[in-house]
Structure 1
Amino acid sequence: MRSRLLTTVLSLLVLVLAGLGVPLAATVAGAEQQRLFLDRLTDVTRFASLAQRPIIDDQPSVIERELRRYDEVYRIAVAITDRDGVVVARSRPGLELTDRKVIDRVGLALAGRHSEPGDLMLPWHDEPLVLAAPVLADGEVRGAALIISPTASARGRVVVWWGALLLGSLLALGAGILFALPVVRWILKPVQRLDEATGKMVTALIMGRPVEPVGGNGGPPELRRLTHSFEQMAAAVGDVLAAQRAFVADASHQLRNPLTALRLRLGNLEGHVDAEAEVHHEAAIEETDRLNRLLDELLVMARAEASSLDPVPIDVDDIITERLQAWSAVADSRHVELVQTGETDLVAMLTPRGLEGILDALLDNALKFTHDGTVVEVAARRIDNRVEVSVRDEGPGLRPKELERATDRFWRSPSHQNVPGSGLGLAIVTRIVARVDGNVRLELPKGGGLKVVVTMPLAPPERSIR
């Protein structure tokens, strides 16, 4: 944004300089042309006066000595013509009226008219200045005096003036840049602080930390007010999220005691319920068990969102081995084989106990949905500076259009409603990896089933586990 704003300011400055410089350059060129024109007009008028008597006396050669002396000193060709346009006296041999411009100027003089300045003289126009004046005797045109003057010296002065104008414009442009840089920096400094604060706010909200104030009082008043409004908004969002997390955690914790008491009372009624009500009794017990699982997952979700612990290096291979051993009893009961593949000696950055929570949620889902006698594969590999941990089952999987919604809270596929669960497992995994800028990706591998890929940052060498 700084470059775009600076470009806009400099473009306006260039337009202003061009709007002032171009007319001034044209004025300088016109002034030099006018000065040269008046100077040469004086000379040609003088020669027209000197030629009156020689032409009347029919002795035009008398004036040639004056013409040659003038030509030798100023290198300007001069000629005198009669009323028919024939050259009768000249400053240099071979001077004839052959050029169309010269002939036209002589024609105007023989008609009793003086020459005009003509088009604007520019440095790249090397045409000579041609002026003619009528030779009058007793009010009658008897001939014409002609001057063919080079314009190199006048054009040189125009170039010098234009160079000075260009230099002045460049100096003004440089001064404008030196002035614009601090102004643009002053204007954009609050915007830069807001941009940095936005990134910090997102990180703080994800990590469950207080949002840092933007700080700084510089910049235009409008941006200072925007900064103040942003700080108020960030504080309000932080308070709302903190209240939401606290409510979820408190409500989940407080509901556990009455649910536990209810479960005990329902258990104590076992054997004391009529046969007709036994079905409802078992359904009530199942519902209390489901509510207990739901509360447990809500507490895990609340801890995952409210944790303020910084990421630490974790040994991916050891934790995968540990969690597979912990879930082996559940897998054996369903004749499911747990397989660990991929690379070893990988160290990732994650919050403490974060990978354990991720694997517990993914293995729980995999063992619930995979078919009996199949394989659940847990793989780890390194891709660039990231670590990928995947869990694949051989269950019914999901429909392609359901993959995007699978990580939403409490969402469950319509085809899996008969399987126990709350729909919070993948949401918990997503929240855990989001704290380290990781991501969760769901895939439908060939052969069926579902593959959940979790990506985490690789630990830098200096943070590796020793």
Structure 2
Amino acid sequence: MRARLLATVLSLVVLLVAGLGLPLAMSVASSTGQSLFLDRLTDTARFASLAQRPLLEGRPELLTAELRRYTEVYGIPVAVLNQDGRPAISSGDVPGAARLNLAEAAVATQVQAALAGRHPEPGPALLPWAEETLVLAEPVLIDGDVRGVVVTASPTASARSNVALWWAFIAAVGVLACVLALLAALPLVRWILRPVRRLDEATGSLVEAVVSGRDVVRVGDGGGPPELRQLGRSFDRMAGSVAEALAAQRAFVADASHQLRNPLTALKLRLVNLEGQVDPDAEEHREAAVAEAARLNQLLDGLLAMARAEAGAGEPVATEVAPVVAARVADWSVVARARGVRLWTEGDLEGVRVSSPPRGVDAVLDALLDNALKFTAEDSEVVVSARVTGGMLRLSVRDNGPGLRAEELERATDRFWRSSAHQNVPGSGLGLAIVARIVARVDGTLELDLPDGGGLRVTVGFPVIP
């Protein structure tokens, strides 16, 4: 947008400079040509006056010396023709002076007009590229009769050079005006676009800030036109309302999940206590109710975990990775042995620290190991591997379960989404969604892929702290 505004300003300045400069340039060319015409007309008229006596008396020697001297000084050939159009007096051939060719069409036209008693008229504007000779023919009048014609042929190179210099000066002033206008427009355009830039930055970070629970960047009154400042204030109010609404939603989910756990636990205990106390025909329904209560309890746990992950639980902190991985793998190894699964780690994490939310690495490993052990068959293995590359810690958990279809990888991090092939496996569909929210808090990465040999590999990236 800045480029377009600058282009608009520059276009207007160019049009203004052209509107002023072109008429000025043509005026310079016209005035220079007019001045040259008047100067040469004065000389030609003087020679026409001096030629009266030599033509009457037939004594060309009275004027020849003066014409020759004029040609030697100014380089302008002069010829006096009688009333028949034949040369009577001439300045002759002077080295370095122009030549007068009476047979040229332009000269012949001027001579015929002068013999008819017409005086020379100004020609068009003198343009730098018009390599023309200024030909003037002044009638020699004696007692009102045309007795001859004085013809001069003036070179215009010097005058055209002056016009070219003036044009170059006007062009330089125009370019300078455009440059100064552009330099003056830069701070003006920056001032106009400052609220737009801040609004663009705030808009880009709005979704991430709201989802991650961070404060929304405010546009505020950072300068600029009043209309754009008002737009910034309106955006701040809108962003604040969105953040408050989402915070209230998270608080409701967390509070509702927490408040429902107590009656749900009591309900589950009552159902368990009814074992052996109900009619045998109703025992199947009691067991189904206990299973649904357990599933609902698991779902509430997932909602609470999701609410904590989205709330952020504080600003990111530096986390020593090695002890966290060792502790979580040790705890989950008990579950792995009970299910007949080998759980082991690879990679050197000694001294590696990453930026993560408080207990974020713990929550990520818990969610990934829970999924991996849940779907891994007996007598197989789950591998936790780690490597540091490009300033990021790549922490991955690979299982040997049924995995997912390639087209399902993108949806795996959606809330409550579960593959149609895993509907019989207990779960809430919130594990990977929680992981995605945690890594988003620190601008981390989450990747899912299907490694060779089957299973699913989930890789999370945390920024490494040097």
User: Is TM-score (shorter-chain normalized) higher than 0.5?
Assistant: yes
What is the aligned counterpart of 2:317 among 308, 312, 323? 312
24-33 vs 9-18, greater mean Cα deviation: 9-18
Query: How do residues 148-187 of structure 1 correspond to structure 2 at under 5 angstroms?
Result: 148-187=153-192
Aligned mates of 2:220, 2:199 — CA distance in 1: 9
- Cα separation, partners in 2 of 1:387 and 1:85, compared to 1, 3 Å: farther
Structure 1 window deviating more from structure 2 (421-430 vs 376-385): it is 376-385
Aligned to 1:355: 361
Within the candidate set 255, 258, 266, 1:253 is matched to 258
The amino acid across from 1:22 in the alignment is L
Which residue of structure 2 aligns with residue 404 of structure 1? 410
1:430 aligned residue: 436
Q: Give the TM-score normalised by the residue count of structure 1.
A: 0.90
Deviations 1:182-232 (Å, cap 9, x if unpaired)? 322321222233234335544542442443543226322211220121011
Letter in 2 for 1:373: D
**Deviations, residues 101-143 of structure 1 (Å, cap 9, x unaligned):** 4445445544555545444323354543222234455666554
Cα shift at 1:23? 1.8
How far has the Cα of 1:47 moved from its partner? 2.3
CA deviations over 1:291-314 (Å, ceiling 9, x no partner): 111111110110111125222222
Q: CA deviation at 1:179?
A: 3.5
2:145 is the alignment partner of 1:144: no
Q: Which digits, 9 at most, give the CA deviation of each residue in 1:13-38, with x for residues without a partner?
A: 12211221122111111111111112
User: Does the CA contact (< 8 Å) of 2:341 and 2:381 recur in 1?
Assistant: yes
One-letter amino acid matched to 2:430: L
Residue pair 1:207, 1:308 contacting (<8 A) in 2 also:
no
Deviations 1:145-180 (A, max 9, x none): 221223344234434533543454345335424532
The C-alpha deviation readout for 1:66-111, integer Å capped at 9, x for no partner, is: 2123223433221223455443322232745165544454455445
Distance 1:199 1:136 in 2: 89
Distance 2:400 2:106 in 1: 98
Distance 1:52 1:403 in 2: 110
The one-letter code sitting in structure 1 at the alignment partner of 2:448 is L
**In structure 2, what residue type is equivalent to 1:120?**
A
Distance in 1, matches of 2:380 and 2:8, equals 66
Judging changes above 3 Å, is the alpha-carbon distance between structure 1 residues 422 and 37 closer, same or farther for their aligned structure 2 residues? same
The one-character-per-residue Cα deviations of 1:392-419 (angstroms, maximum 9, x if unpaired) are 1122211222111111101111111111
Deviates more, 1:61-70 or 1:392-401: 61-70
Aligned identity (percent) is: 58
Residues 108 and 251 (structure 1 numbering): CA distance in 2 closer, same or farther, change over 3 Å?
A: same
Q: Deviations over 1:29-54 (max 9, x none)?
A: 11111111122123223323433443
Q: Which amino acid aligns with 1:225?
A: Q
Please tell me whether the aligned partners of residues 211 and 234 of structure 1 are also in contact (alpha carbons under 8 angstroms): yes
The residue type equivalent to 1:418 in the other structure is N
The answer to whether the 8 Å contact 1:87/1:96 transfers is no
- Rounded to whole Å, the distance in 2 between the matches of 1:170 and 1:6 is 16
Q: Within the alignment, does 1:375 sit opposite 2:404 as a pair?
A: no
- The correspondence of residues 414-429 of structure 1 with structure 2, limited to 5 A, is 414-429=420-435
Match of 1:464 in 2: none
Report which stretch shifted further, 332-341 or 255-264: 332-341
Per-residue deviation, 1:424: 0.5
Name structure 1 gaps, 5 residues minimum: 462-466
Q: What value does the CA root-mean-square deviation take over the aligned residues?
A: 2.5
2: CA distance, partners of 1:308 / 1:179? 49
Tell me: CA distance 1:45–1:321, structure 2 relative to 1, closer, same or farther (3 Å).
same
CA–CA separation in structure 1 for the residues paired with 2:379 and 2:123:
104
Change (3 A) 1:109 1:448: farther
- In structure 2, runs of 5+ residues without a counterpart are none
| Contact 1:132/1:146 (8 A) holds in 2 | yes
* Cα shift readout 1:334-392 (whole Å, capped 9, x = no counterpart): 22222312343332211121011111111111111222222212221222122211111
- Of 151-160 and 74-83, deviating more is 151-160
Question: Which residue does 1:394 correspond to in 2?
Answer: 400
What is the one-letter code of the residue matched to 2:447?
Answer: R
**CA 1:437–1:90: 2 relative to 1, 3 Å:** same
Question: Is 1:131 aligned to 2:136, yes or no?
Answer: yes
| TM-score, with structure 2 as normaliser | 0.90
Answer yes or no: is 1:188 the counterpart of 2:198: no
Aligned residues of 1:209 and 1:308 also touching (Cα < 8 A)? no
Amino acid at match of 2:25: A
Which residue matches 1:75? 75
CA contact (8 A) 2:119 2:138 kept: yes
The 1:83/1:402 distance shift into structure 2, 3 A limit, reads farther
How far did 1:61 drift?
A: 4.1
The CA distance in 1 between the partners of 2:23 and 2:393, in whole Å, is 66
Alignment partners' CA distance in 2, 1:84 and 1:427: 111
Tell me, in whole angstroms, the C-alpha distance in 2 between the residues paired with 1:309 and 1:420.
31
Return the alpha-carbon distance in structure 2 between the equivalents of residues 165 and 121 of structure 1.
16
Q: Which one of 270, 277, 281 corresponds to residue 282 of structure 2?
A: 277
Task: State how far apart, in whole Å, the 2-side matches of 1:416 and 1:301 are.
Answer: 21
Report how many aligned residue pairs link the two structures. 460
Instruction: Give 1:365's aligned residue.
Output: 371
Residues in 2 aligned to 1:102 and 1:342: alpha-carbon distance in whole angstroms: 100
**For 2:266, what is the secondary structure of its paired residue?**
helix
